[in-house]
């Protein structure tokens, strides 16, 4: 293989080549940056590149290897990080005019862990502003395109992170998932995306949108890579009050396992109206593959899931209105140039600094938290949230995993849904229940419809990640969907 083609390999393939001394970290970095230089003008995955810091890190890794030091799985592996996760000394914009020039003085917990493991940050990826959206069209800074069809969206809000991995512009990336923002773009871009159990990965350093929903997770080229990265993300962090103080095993031990006897639930509500017939058929064909491997499949009902979307948009918007109150033009972020009073400075700074979708969710959240509407909307949403969570808990008493489509459709065209708010919100209909319940889920490629990737979502109980990886890897070993690449 030519050195410049190294970008096309998986994380574990590159790891093995670095460990054997066949290649060095700098060669891998050269390959990826060359790929970005040749391609990203078309894709638009990156907002900021960190070349100087990346080459310094690669030099350090190569030196340590030359000195005989044994390094971990991620040593010398180029990665990308969604631009709402703090990176010390590297611009973190949230794809918003409000934070366009913000440079954090600290690393997020996940960045600390990945850097300690030797992973090399190559750049920050585009997103819907403040992670609010399902298409990455809400970015104030640029448009990201789907590598499978440049006229289509990559999904959102972590569209840049998904597109970077799909286009071989990074070996893995991080995104954040509030209502499906890792899994939905993973589905649309034909890569693996994992949303961990709520609290299993620290949110310290993640710019908050909906604090009780947000979770950081990875995009990877296959399930084995996903298991490797998860090993380096999980762990307690005392700086995050919601961080779980639990031990986790080695997720790679769930690979290459027999799934005979595994119990799978298929919730009928996730295959009904609103799901594209092609998507439904492809996902069900994927389930048949698992059934053929010895899994036991039954149709189940999760009736409260039909309320998940309104519950999510009420509760998450309420949290957003509180979390984004800090962006007031005083301490940091954008400040309006013209104002005659303190109140006018607040109003002008927020009006000019935030985009339309962010303003919409702040107003919705403020309304549902206001006197007279709190009980009618917010408090009622929390009660239904509890019912949805309990419904999942009861289902997992009987089933190891639950399977559904990840997205109700394949990637839609850029601009197609910008004037149809409901159609855009419906993009997350299959993913938001997972965040409401706080459970883990993966999206992995399971087929193609008219040349566009389709994702299968596999869910399990809280801290049931091993069951998900076990089933996902069994499916991947018996298909070749994860090996298919867009023609660029």
pLDDT of 4: 65
* Average pLDDT value for residue range 216-236: 98
CA 12 to chain centre: 20
Query: What beta strand segments (E) does 307-451 contain?
Result: 401-405, 441-449
The pLDDT, as a whole number, for residue 296 is: 98
Q: How far apart are CA 83 and CA 88, in angstroms?
A: 12
Residue 1 reports pLDDT greater than 60: no
* Overall average pLDDT of the 152-163 stretch: 98
What is the arithmetic mean of pLDDT over 360-382?
Answer: 95
- What integer is the mean pLDDT of 268-292? 97
User: Could you count the other beta carbons within 10 Å of the beta carbon of residue 49?
Assistant: 18
Which secondary structure element, helix H or strand E, spans residue 452, and what is its range? strand 452-459
pLDDT band for position 247 (cuts 50, 70, 90):
confident
Q: How far apart are CA 214 and CA 196, in angstroms?
A: 10
| The pLDDT value given to residue 273 | 86
Please give the Cα distance from 348 to 334 (Å, whole number). Answer: 10
Going along 206-336, which residue ranges are E strands? Answer: 216-220, 263-267, 296-300
- Tell me the average pLDDT across 108-127: 98
Residue 297, classed as helix, strand or coil, is strand
Q: Can you give the pLDDT at residue 180? A: 98
- How many C-beta atoms lie closer than 10 Å to residue 26's C-beta? 16
Distances from the Cα of 339 to the Cα of 159, 346, 347, angstroms: 36, 9, 9
The catalytic residues are: 82, 157, 181
Q: Residue 80: is its pLDDT beyond 60?
A: yes
Can you name the CATH fold of 3-261? Answer: Amidase signature (AS) enzymes (3.90.1300)
**What's the rounded mean pLDDT across residues 387-405?**
98
User: What's residue 220's pLDDT?
Assistant: 98
> Is the confidence at residue 464, as pLDDT, over 80?
yes
Residue 105 · residue 95 · CB < 8 Å: no
Rounded average pLDDT over 168-194: 98
Each domain of the chain, given as residue ranges in start order, spans 3-261
- Measured in degrees and rounded to the nearest 5, phi and psi for residue 472 equal -65, -40
What's the mean pLDDT in 306-317?
Answer: 97
- Which pLDDT score is estimated for 3? 61
Say yes or no to pLDDT of 2 above 70. Answer: no
pLDDT at residue 238, as a whole number: 97
* pLDDT confidence bin for 301, thresholds 50/70/90: very high
Structure tokens at 256: 């290459």
Rounded Cα–Cα distance for residues 314 and 168 (Å): 37
């Amino acid at each position: 293989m030519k050195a410049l083609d190294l970008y096309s390999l998986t994380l574990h393939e590159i790891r093995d080549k670095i460990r054997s001394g066949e290649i060095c970290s700098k060669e891998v970095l050269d390959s990826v940056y060359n790929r970005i230089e040749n391609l990203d003008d078309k894709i638009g995955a990156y907002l900021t590149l960190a070349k100087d810091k990346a080459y310094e890190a690669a030099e350090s890794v190569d030196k340590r290897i030359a000195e005989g030091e044994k390094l971990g799985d991620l040593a010398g592996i180029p990665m990308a990080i969604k631009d709402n996760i703090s990176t010390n000394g590297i611009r973190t914009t949230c794809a918003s005019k409000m934070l366009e020039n913000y440079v954090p003085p600290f690393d997020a917990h996940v960045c600390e862990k990945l850097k300690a493991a030797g992973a090399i940050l190559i750049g920050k990826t585009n997103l819907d502003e403040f992670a609010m959206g399902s298409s990455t069209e809400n970015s104030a800074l640029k448009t990201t395109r789907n590598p499978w069809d440049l006229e289509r969206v990559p999904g959102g809000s972590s569209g840049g992170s998904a597109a970077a991995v799909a286009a071989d512009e990074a070996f893995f990336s991080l995104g954040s998932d509030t209502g499906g923002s890792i899994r939905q773009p993973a589905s649309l871009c034909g890569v693996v995306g994992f949303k961990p159990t709520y609290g299993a990965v620290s949110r310290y350093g993640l710019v908050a949108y909906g604090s009780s929903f947000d979770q950081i997770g990875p995009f990877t080229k296959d399930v084995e890579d996903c298991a490797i990265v998860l090993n380096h993300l999980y762990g307690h962090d005392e700086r995050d009050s919601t961080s779980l103080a639990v031990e986790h095993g080695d997720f790679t031990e769930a690979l290459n396992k027999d799934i005979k006897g595994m119990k799978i639930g298929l919730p009928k509500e996730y295959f009904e109206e609103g799901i594209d017939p092609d998507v439904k058929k492809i996902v069900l064909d994927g389930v048949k593959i698992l059934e053929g491997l010895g899994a036991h499949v039954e149709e189940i009902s999760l009736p409260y899931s039909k309320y998940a979307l309104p519950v999510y948009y009420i509760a998450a918007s309420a949290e957003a209105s509180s979390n984004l109150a800090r962006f007031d033009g005083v301490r940091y972020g954008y400040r309006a140039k013209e104002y005659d009073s303190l109140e006018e400075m607040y109003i002008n700074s927020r009006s000019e600094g935030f985009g339309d979708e962010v303003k919409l969710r702040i107003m919705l959240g403020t309304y549902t938290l206001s006197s007279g509407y709190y009980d009618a909307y917010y408090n009622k949403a929390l009660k239904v949230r509890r019912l949805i969570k309990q419904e999942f808990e009861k289902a997992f008493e009987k089933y190891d995993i639950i399977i559904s489509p990840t997205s109700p459709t394949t990637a839609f065209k850029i601009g197609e849904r910008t004037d149809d708010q409901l159609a855009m919100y419906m993009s997350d209909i299959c993913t938001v229940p997972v965040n409401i319940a706080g459970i883990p889920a993966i999206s992995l490629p399971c087929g193609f419809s008219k040349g566009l990737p389709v994702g299968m979502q596999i869910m399990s109980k809280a801290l049931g990640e091993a069951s998900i990886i076990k089933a996902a890897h069994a499916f991947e070993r018996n298909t070749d969907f994860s090996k298919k690449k867009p023609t660029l």
